[in-house]
Chain A
Amino acid sequence: MLSMKNISKVFKTDLVETHALREFNLEVNEGEFVAVTGPSGSGKTTFLNIAGLLEGFTQGDYFLDGVNISNLSDNKSAAIRNEKIGFIFQGFNLIPDLNLAENVEVPLRYRGFNAKERKRRVQHALEQVGLAARMKHLPSQLSGGQQQRVAIARALAGEPRFLLADEPTGNLDSMMARQVMELLEEINKAGTTIIMVTHDPELARRAQRNIQIVDGQVCDFTMYQGGERTIEKPHLVTGSQEPSNQDKVAS
């Protein structure tokens, strides 16, 4: 479903060149729940931004659902983001002036759904996250966990093929984080592919696959099943390069 081949991303200023991603290779299959871990500055967010078509890349090929993403116009990128991708952010990123229903409705507006369809989808999405009764509330009237659930509802309302979550539990206490994680697992079970960036190894273990990014490269991945590590195999970043730190993600 998602295929990145030799993706590089270089940020340039007059003085320095920063390689955020180097020859980055990744395949994500439909229905997978992939956790992305790695130290700060390793390139996790850059990867997520490129995956979500929020940023372009310097080199390489990126196929999403069989579509070559390289050199897409802004309008086409926006349409793909709107139809196929749902975003969940660490800071929730709800629009403070809009109530919950209006927040969830935003992507549906851009997609051109009529009022009836928008209302149906908003209702359904908020029911999925257990907040249908509070749809007229403003985000500021909700707890952090509830706000994140609204953000998830917003991401789900467009019925995307996959969700990109950037530290979705980073601003939540452990109980709230667990609730959000359970919600994401339910969504994944319903068939939505999820890629989640996290610092929390506990949460990472709950994903089916754990990818570690170091210095802009996938250095390792581990498969889990039912919270237990089942497969561990080295991942070739390039044709010739052998991974050197595969043990770092051992449970």
Chain B
Amino acid sequence: MFFYYLDLAWRSIKKTPFLSLLMVLAISIGIGITITTLNIYQMASINPAGERSSKLFEVRLWSQGIDTWSRLNQQITYQDGFNLRKSPVPVRQTPMFMTGFAVQTDDPEFTPVLENARVTDRDFFGLFSVPFLYGGAWDKQVDSEPAYQVVISEELNKQVFAGENSVGKTLYLNRKPYQIVGVTKTWNPSPKYYDVNNGAFNDAEKIFVPYSLAPTEEYQSWGNNQSWRNEPMDTYAQRLASEAHWNQYWVELDNPEQIRAYEEWLANYIEQQKLLGRFEMPDAKAEIADVAQWLKVNKVVPEDNKILVGLSALFLIVCLVNMLGLLLAKFLKRAPEIGVRRAIGASQTQIFSQHMVEVGLIGFCGGVLGLLWAWGSLSLLSAHFELEDALTQLGYSMWVLAPSIAIIAALLAGIYPAWRICSTNPSVHLKSQ
């Protein structure tokens, strides 16, 4: 019967094209706005670490002194990062910070470009499952014995080496030659959870250099450089030993036992540092947060987004109320025909189903059109308001979600009109036809 009802629904839509178009427009506008806000919300709140989310932890330490910052800082200092690397507990671990380089090649025709870079350990690539197109990460040994090696992204490889295998070639960073050891495949987690401090929706860096090179090459941190105390920072060594060179620190812990052991190790570390005169706060502590918790702590999804989704849902309801009125008018006009159908054997359930299928079809059309509205509005937002691309890309799930929401919403709006038409007394209309 479903296909019969679908055929009747299509005929009905064709019979009243203007009224049907009005209903499709009403629901499509509501769906368009809802999907636009929902898409932004979903893209902002997506957990890019997927299955590994519960195994990756960001480390925070309450290192500041008494009467200074009143909350746990989101990052740890370079000196803590350097020390935490010695922990034997995590499966993988890496400190890191963002910097940048002027990029040059052997080709004199190549115009130097300024690119963001990440200073990190080899474990970064394993921790965050970074895929490689050519080569791989530098050797573990480089993490302790500095070497001028670099991993670049596929995009930079295309830009500089026309996409050829560039492993073994030389890339000049701030005029220093680095040997390329690996080229990552396109990899751009969104939100950029491993460093939400420098734009949670910015693109991943295109250059990765060893953390062990930092003291030698004096890489400047392109992130937070605030300190909770006054201290001399005339030299780079002083800066590294200060409370102002902030790093991110991630560890991989595979099971609850490892988590417990690492928390214990961190507590001991704090006690040791206290003996050295650091971590002055009596309740100085360490905290670790997995990816989902980390995104929440950092309020990667602003509260405004949730309010916006709620408001757009309210707007959808207003559209549905309009649709309900139009459906009621359309269905009741058909009462004489329904009277005949009831007289010749259609039950109330069958008449109700027939009309709900029609409402569902209108909802589906509205959903498809709403998807186009959403795509258009996201493109406009991207073009005129400089929102990050990651937020204004229509997610694949929306292609299913938009028609589904539209159909469900339309069905809800159609219940009353369909019930009214199926419960009218058929005999009233039979004589009057």
The answer to whether A and B assemble together is yes
A78-B430 CB under 8 A given contacts A55-B425, A97-B11, A109-B4: no
A75-B347 CB under 8 A given contacts A95-B340, A109-B1: yes
B430 touches A89 (CB 8 A): yes
Decide yes or no whether B342 CB sits under 8 A from chain A: yes
Q: Which chain B residues lie closer than 8 Å to A83 at the CB level?
A: 345
- With beta carbons under 8 angstroms apart, the residue of B4, B15, B345, B348 that contacts A81 is B345
Q: Which chain B residues lie closer than 8 Å to A188 at the CB level?
A: none
Give, as a whole number of angstroms, the nearest-CB distance from B8 to chain A: 9
Inter-chain CA distance A55–B4, complex, in Å, is 27
Q: Identify 21 residue pairs between A and B in the complex whose beta-carbon atoms are under 8 Å apart, listed by A's number.
A: A54-B425, A54-B427, A75-B347, A78-B346, A78-B348, A79-B345, A82-B344, A89-B430, A89-B433, A90-B431, A93-B336, A93-B339, A95-B337, A95-B340, A95-B341, A97-B15, A110-B344, A110-B346, A110-B347, A154-B344, A158-B345
Inter-chain CA distance A106–B317, complex, in Å, is 36
Decide yes or no whether B220 CB sits under 8 A from chain A: no
B433 touches A78 (CB 8 A): no
Q: Which chain A residues lie closer than 8 Å to B340 at the CB level?
A: 89, 93-95
Q: Which of B409-433 contact A (CB under 8 A)?
A: 425-427, 430-431, 433
How many residues in A have their beta carbons less than 8 Å from beta carbons of B?
Answer: 31
Decide yes or no whether B349 CB sits under 8 A from chain A: yes
A75 touches B4 (CB 8 A): no
Q: Which chain A residues lie closer than 8 Å to B4 at the CB level?
A: 109
Decide yes or no whether B99 CB sits under 8 A from chain A: no
Give the dominant DSSP class at B's interface: helix
Inter-chain CA distance A89–B426, complex, in Å, is 13
How many residues in B have their beta carbons less than 8 Å from beta carbons of A?
Answer: 24
Decide yes or no whether B379 CB sits under 8 A from chain A: no
Inter-chain CA distance A8–B192, complex, in Å, is 78
User: A74: nearest residue on chain B (CB-CB)?
Assistant: B348
A107 touches B431 (CB 8 A): no
A87-B11 CB under 8 A given contacts A54-B426, A95-B337, A166-B431: no
Q: Which chain A residues lie closer than 8 Å to B431 at the CB level?
A: 45, 89-91, 166
Decide yes or no whether B170 CB sits under 8 A from chain A: no
Give, as a whole number of angstroms, the nearest-CB distance from A48 to chain B: 9
User: A56: nearest residue on chain B (CB-CB)?
Assistant: B425
Q: Which of B345-360 contact A (CB under 8 A)?
A: 345-350
Decide yes or no whether A111 CB sits under 8 A from chain B: yes
A49 touches B427 (CB 8 A): yes
A79-B427 CB under 8 A given contacts A89-B433, A97-B11: no
Decide yes or no whether A145 CB sits under 8 A from chain B: no
User: B433: nearest residue on chain A (CB-CB)?
Assistant: A91
